[in-house]
Amino acid sequence: MAAARIGIIGTGWVGTSVAFSTLVSGHAGELWLHDQRGAVAEGEALDLADGAAFYPHCDVRAVALEQLREADIVVLAAGRNGRPDESRLDLLRDNARIAAGIGRALAGFGGIVLVVTNPVDVLTRVVAAASGLPPERVIGTGTLLDTARLRERLAGRLGLSPLSVHAQVIGEHGDSSVMLWSGARVGGLALRDWAGWRAEDEALLAQQVRRAAYEVIRRKGATNHAIGLVTAELIGCIVRDERRLLPVSRVQDLPGGLRGVALSLPALVGANGAVQVTEPAMDEAERQALAASATVLDQAFRSLAG
């Protein structure tokens, strides 16, 4: 996908971080910004364009919503941020209304939609339903950030580089997320066989991963930089057709019960979107936790009809 046209809806904290990370990574030939606050989108576009000497060539400008239908990838970053100690699901009603409207505006869109706004899993399902797009082309960033957080904290605990740690988070990007401890590996060795590893470390690290966003929001009001990097990485996987297995959110259609709900499982991500979803090996406790996470997300989506 040469000279990809990337559109970003929402130029608040998150949207501008996504824009900046995308520019620096060189994934876009054109970067289009849209916001209901038209002057803000124009200002961000002008500001980013002024730095053109310091990133690979890209045409940056503010556009109307209708023009985004011509993009290859549209990133949904519109909506309000979470408040201190407010769960992602507490954001649901405010942001679902925005997401549904954007989904309807993108009906028949030929590209891929990346949903970043929280609660990302439920909103991924909202956008998929409102747009009518195939599930593989409506992708939420899901637990990609949770997975990065888990690996960073595991690496700190073990005194290693995060690149040497292989562990995943699946399910909800939120309080019911599932850490796959049974499949975690360090240098090819099972984490639970690592010298000095203690079972009680798992609960502590899981809590740190789930509370990470709350800690940032409590101090600065929003999380934006890490999710900007995550989204740019996901854009790169699509633009370069990398076909990487990544824990991203999409409406699932798997045998055995995970049907219709949007949550994160490893999927093959490339130019065609998030295809070939796989269920990783899990122990019984992890399998039950994933089922519980799916129930939480399904109930949250259904609550919108009330």
pLDDT tens column, 58-90? 999 999 999 999 999 999 999 987 777 767 677
The token pair at 66 is 């209708």
- Co-location of 111 and 158 in the same domain: no
- Co-location of 119 and 181 in the same domain: no
- Co-location of 19 and 120 in the same domain: yes
Would you say residue 226 has pLDDT above 80?
yes
Is 173 tagged catalytic? Answer: yes
- Co-location of 42 and 118 in the same domain: yes
Residue 194 CB burial class (10 angstroms; 0-12, 13-18, ≥19): middle
Q: Which of 27, 57, 173, 225 does the annotation list as catalytic?
A: 173
Q: Which of 125, 117, 114 is nearest to 269 (CA)?
A: 114
Which is it for the CA torsion 12, 13, 18, 21, positive or negative? positive
Q: Pick from 114, 140, 166: which residue ends a domain?
A: 140
At residue 203 the predicted structure's pLDDT band, cuts being 50, 70 and 90, is: very high
Per-residue pLDDT at 138:
98
- Co-location of 291 and 151 in the same domain: yes
User: In the chain, count of helices (H) and strands (E)?
Assistant: 8, 14
- Co-location of 113 and 227 in the same domain: no
- Co-location of 165 and 216 in the same domain: yes
Which single residue is written with the structure tokens 């109930």? 299
Structural domain count, the chain: 2
CATH of the domain at 33: 3.40.50.720
At residue 243 the predicted structure's pLDDT band, cuts being 50, 70 and 90, is: very high
Secondary structure element (H or E) that encloses residue 297, with its range: helix 284-302
CATH of the domain at 253: 3.90.110.10
- Co-location of 33 and 75 in the same domain: yes
Answer whether 83's CB lies under 8 Å from 291's CB.
Answer: no
Which residues are CB-neighbours of 197 under 8 A, at least 6 positions away?
Answer: 158, 191
**Global confidence as pTM:** 0.95
Q: What is the DSSP letter of 92?
A: H
Q: Which of 181, 123, 115 is nearest to 144 (CA)?
A: 115
Q: Do you know the residue count of the chain? A: 306
- Co-location of 42 and 117 in the same domain: yes
Q: What is the DSSP letter of 80?
A: P
SS3 call for 142: coil
- Co-location of 107 and 162 in the same domain: no
Q: Which residue range forms the structural domain that includes residue 116?
A: 5-140
Q: Pick from 116, 140, 164: which residue ends a domain?
A: 140
Would you say residue 157 has pLDDT above 70?
yes
The token pair at 56 is 């690979």
- Co-location of 165 and 132 in the same domain: no
Would you say residue 1 has pLDDT above 70?
no
At residue 36 the predicted structure's pLDDT band, cuts being 50, 70 and 90, is: very high
- Co-location of 115 and 214 in the same domain: no
